[in-house]
């Protein structure tokens, strides 16, 4: 099962149903008068508690992964049917008890039942408000989780862009270094060209001087 909370509520509601079944179908038949009223109130409070447990289980179903939901829904339906059966049995016990009362006692019992009904109504309203608050908190958690996922995606994208910029910067540095090397090579080549030109000029001058000396010696020295 996907939810530890769901399993815990199952354990609680099964124990509660066992207790209610014993009270409704066994103990109530052995009591009369005020004792039976007290036991009836205990049964009604237990059924209200069971209704709250079922609501919590339904909340867990909405949070559970899809593959687990069908089995969880089936179990909750079974618990609802059990609760309805116990409620019906309790109402039947109350009806039988009411038919046996005198007119005055019957009127007092009706007042008491009206009070109990009003209390149960307030309790159910409180449960509905709690359910609405729980749903709102669940939606807030979902929105927060989605926002966190978006933020994570943005951070990852920024990290990727940063790495790309770092690689581009490194390539620019490498290109700059290569340009600097090329510039040095060109300067060296220019220097060698100038040196070769100067050497060539010197050689030409030497050759002209030698040629002039030979001409002078051959034609003018005699």
Average pLDDT over every residue of 18-26: 92
Task: Give the chain's length.
Answer: 222
Query: Is residue 81 over pLDDT 70?
Result: yes
One DSSP character per residue, 87-151 reads: HHHHHHHHHHHHHTS-HHHHHHHHHHHHHHHHHHHHHHHHHHHHHHHHHHHHHHHHHHHHHHHHH
Q: What is the mean pLDDT of the chain?
A: 81
Q: Give the tens place of pLDDT for each residue, 170-194.
A: 888 888 888 888 888 988 898 888 9
Residue ranges and CATH numbers for the domains of the chain are 4-162 (1.20.58.400)
Q: How confident is the model at residue 102 (pLDDT cuts 50, 70, 90)?
A: very low
The confidence score (pLDDT) of residue 101 equals: 47
Of 112 and 53, the one with more pLDDT: 53
27-49 mean pLDDT: 91
Please check whether residue 116 is in contact with residue 94, taking contact to mean a CB–CB distance below 8 angstroms. Answer: no
With CA atoms as reference, report the closest residue to 60 among 126, 118, 2: 2
The structure's pTM equals 0.44
Task: Please state, in angstroms and rounded to a whole number, the distance separating the CA atoms of residues 77 and 125.
Answer: 22
Asked whether the beta carbons of 123 and 48 are under 8 A apart, the reply is yes
Using alpha carbons only, give the angle 77, 81, 85 rounded to the nearest 5 degrees.
170
Closest to 20 (Cα-Cα) out of 51, 55, 58: 51
User: How would residue 104 be classed by pLDDT, with cut points 50, 70 and 90?
Assistant: very low
Taking residues 107-133, report their average pLDDT: 62
Distance CA 32, CA 105 (A): 13
Per-residue pLDDT at 112: 56
Measured between its terminal Cα atoms, the distance across the chain in Å is: 129
pLDDT range class, residue 22, cuts 50, 70, 90 = very high
Region 66-81 average pLDDT: 93
- pLDDT of 1 over the 50 cut: no
pLDDT single digits (tens) 121-168: 666 666 667 666 666 666 655 655 565 665 567 567 777 888 888 888
């Amino acid at each position: 099962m996907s939810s530890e909370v769901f399993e815990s509520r199952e354990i609680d509601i099964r124990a509660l149903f066992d207790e209610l079944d014993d009270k409704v179908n066994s103990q109530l038949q052995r009591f009369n008068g005020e004792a039976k009223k007290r036991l009836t109130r205990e049964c009604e409070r237990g059924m209200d508690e069971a209704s709250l447990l079922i609501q919590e289980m339904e909340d867990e179903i909405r949070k559970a992964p899809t593959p687990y939901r069908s089995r969880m829904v089936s179990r909750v339906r079974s618990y609802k049917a059990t609760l309805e059966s116990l409620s019906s049995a309790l109402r039947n016990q109350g009806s039988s008890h009411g038919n046996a009362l005198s007119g005055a006692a019957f009127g007092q019992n009706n007042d008491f039942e009206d009070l109990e009904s009003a209390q149960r109504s307030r309790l159910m309203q409180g449960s509905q408000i709690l359910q609405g608050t729980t749903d709102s908190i669940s939606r807030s958690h979902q929105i927060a989780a989605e926002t966190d996922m978006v933020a994570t995606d943005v951070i990852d994208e920024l990290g990727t862009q940063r790495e790309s910029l770092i690689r581009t910067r490194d390539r620019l540095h490498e290109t700059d270094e290569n340009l600097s090397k090329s510039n040095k090579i060109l300067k060296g080549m220019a220097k060698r060209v100038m040196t070769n030109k100067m050497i060539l000029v010197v050689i030409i001058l030497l050759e002209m001087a030698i040629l002039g000396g030979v001409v002078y010696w051959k034609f003018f020295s005699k």
